[in-house]
Structures are given as C-alpha cells and as structure tokens.
Amino acid sequence: MINPAIDLQGGQSIRLKQGDFDQATLIENTPLAQVERFQAVGIDRLHLVDLDGARLGHPANQAVVKAIRDSFTGMIELGGGIRTAQAVADYLKLGIDRVILGSVAVKDPQLTRRVLNDWGSARIVIGVDGKDGMVATEGWLSQSTVPMVTLIGRLVEAGAVNFIVTDVAQDGMMAGPNLNLLGDLQAQFPTTNIIASGGIRNLADIDALKRVGVKEAVVGRAMFEGTLTLEEIKEANANAD
C-alpha cells in the first residue's frame, strides 16, 4: 500500500529535504485543494505531517487537519507534535484513523504504552526517524542516543505493530529507500508492519521494498517530481495484497 504524503507548515503544503526546515519547497498554498485532487483520482489513503507541530512539540495545524478530514473519505494517518494522551484522543475523536507517535515514543515510553493500551495497535503508529541507525527527535532537529532497532524492540514488546521508518538521509533526496535498513528491520521483527518512508522514487522502488518484505510505504516528493503518478498509486493500491 502507498500512502501519499502532505506535509503541513503554516497552513500550506510543503516538502523538505533531509528534514531541513531551511530546504522547504512550497507544493500547494491550499492543502485542501491537493487532497481534493487525490480524491478525484481515487486515492483513498493519506499521510499527513504537522511540521510546525513536530518542531514546536504540540499540534499546530488543527484547522487544516480538520478541513482535510471533513473532505477526505479515505484513511488518514497523522503525525507531528502529538506528545500527550489528550492530543492523541483529540485527533482520534476528530476521525483521524491512525495517529503517529514520534519523539514521545523515545522520551515517554510509559505514555506510549498507555496510549497503545487505550486505543489499540491498529490506531497507533510509531514513527521511527533516524540517521546512521540512531533515532532523531523534535522534527529531526535532535539526534538521540537510542538505536532504531532498540526502540522498535521495546515497543513491539508493548504491543505496537505499525512502524513508519524514515532514514532522514534519504528523505526528499529522490535517491531510493534504504532497503538494507528497512529489510533488516522487517526480518528482525516479522510480526510488525514496517512502513517505508524516505527516498522512494517510483514503482520500481515499491517493488524493491516488497522484495525485502516491506508492504507499505509513504511517498512525497516523487508525486511532485512526476516519477510516481497518482494513477500509479491508485493502481498499485488496488493490486496490493
């Protein structure tokens, strides 16, 4: 399955390179128009990131998120600045299907376990962003001392199943996903759903991910570079296992 990404900053849709807020490209002044184009083609999955929330540590684009949820009939997963049980509850009650926990999964494992217990593993996704195998936090502005594999192992024990794994070095670079990292993690944790994010260019990359056991992916820049079309995404999702 392919989840098209929209990254929100200041109420607009942008794309970053390697998580660098100084390397932002404006995609759409009105993200809702972008969502409507997705839906018109038949896309029924959406990956949203509140970049302002990730940097500030609390939700910051709620109005845009609500407008998108009101308009889009498909599955929406959302991350960025969701670091309290209340924020999780607010978004899930708003109708967001899957909430992504990133920095808080590293910094507050007790909260993460409680949220998993309260809402279930189908609705809570763990965002594991990193570089050189180590977890990055605070919207990728800080590097932790926690290995990605260690974090995933802890949270598998806590009941987590879905993990969006982003190699920051690949993100937005259109150089292909880190197949070794993603395939190794999927093999090491076979009961999980490792969701690939970062560097995915085209359907060939999607096929390469499938060959290493990764069945779900997030794509962003490739859509706007034209190397992966909305029609291709729709068809790939229709043919997914």
Going by C-alpha positions, the residue among 39, 51, 41 that lies closest to residue 76 is 39
Annotation marks residue 7 as catalytic: yes
Name the residue with tokens 């670091």. Answer: 83
| Candidate list 7, 52, 167, 171, residue with the active-site label | 7
**CA-to-CA separations, 198 to 20, 48, 51, 172, in angstroms, rounded:** 13, 14, 15, 6
Going by C-alpha positions, the residue among 191, 193, 241, 235 that lies closest to residue 217 is 193
Going by C-alpha positions, the residue among 13, 15, 17, 48 that lies closest to residue 34 is 13
| Candidate list 129, 167, 171, 205, residue with the active-site label | 129
Annotation marks residue 207 as catalytic: no
What count of other Cβ atoms lies within 10 Å of the Cβ of residue 187? 11
Cα 155 to Cα 5: distance, rounded to the nearest angstrom: 24
Cα 54 to Cα 73: distance, rounded to the nearest angstrom: 25
What count of other Cβ atoms lies within 10 Å of the Cβ of residue 4? 23
Residues annotated catalytic, as ranges: 7, 129
